[in-house]
Amino acid sequence: MENGIAKVQDGKPGKARGRPARISREMILDAAAELSGKSPEELPSLNGIARALKISPMAIYTYFSSKDDLLQALSDRLLAEFTLDIAPDADPFDVIVQWANAMRAYVLLNPQLINLLVWEGGHTSVAWLERGMTVSGALGRMGFTGAARARATLWVWHVAMGAINVELRNRVMPQDLTAHELYSLDTSTREQIAEMLSFTGSADHADRFFTYQLDRMCDALRVMQKN
118 inside domain? yes
Q: Tell me the per-residue pLDDT of 58-94, one tens digit each, with 9 for 90 and over.
A: 999 999 999 999 999 999 999 999 999 999 899 999 9
Together in a domain, 143 and 48: no
Following DSSP, what letter does each residue of 13-58 receive, concatenated?
A: PPPP--PPPP--HHHHHHHHHHHHHH-TTSPPPHHHHHHHHTS-GG
Q: Could you tell me if 99 and 218 are in contact, meaning their C-beta atoms sit under 8 angstroms apart?
A: no
Q: Tell me the per-residue pLDDT of 125-159, one tens digit each, with 9 for 90 and over.
A: 999 999 999 999 999 999 999 999 999 999 999 99
Confidence band, pLDDT 50/70/90 cuts, at residue 200: confident
Output DSSP code: residue 195.
H
| Amino acid sitting at position 147 | A
For the chain, percent of residues with pLDDT exceeding 90 = 78
Q: Which CATH number covers residue 114?
A: 1.10.357.10
The total number of structural domains in the chain stands at 2
Give dist(CA 202, CA 41) in Å, integer: 25
Q: 184-193 as b/e, with b when 16 or more CB fall inside 10 Å?
A: eeeeeeeeee
Together in a domain, 63 and 101: no
Give dist(CA 209, CA 109) in Å, integer: 18
Closest CA to 100 of 23, 157, 185, 59: 157
What local confidence, expressed as pLDDT, does residue 226 receive? 86
10 inside domain? no
| Amino acid sitting at position 185 | L
Confidence band, pLDDT 50/70/90 cuts, at residue 21: low
Q: Which CATH number covers residue 53?
A: 1.10.10.60
Query: Is it the case that residue 3 has pLDDT exceeding 70?
Result: no
Together in a domain, 67 and 105: no
Task: List Cβ<8 Å contacts ≥24 apart for 180-189.
Answer: none
Together in a domain, 72 and 97: no
* Residue ranges making up the domain that contains 40: 25-78
Together in a domain, 151 and 216: yes
Together in a domain, 32 and 117: no
Q: Could you tell me if 115 and 167 are in contact, meaning their C-beta atoms sit under 8 angstroms apart?
A: no
Together in a domain, 149 and 125: yes
41 inside domain? yes
What local confidence, expressed as pLDDT, does residue 13 receive? 45
What local confidence, expressed as pLDDT, does residue 91 receive? 97
Cα Rg for the chain, rounded, in angstroms?
Answer: 26
Together in a domain, 98 and 206: yes
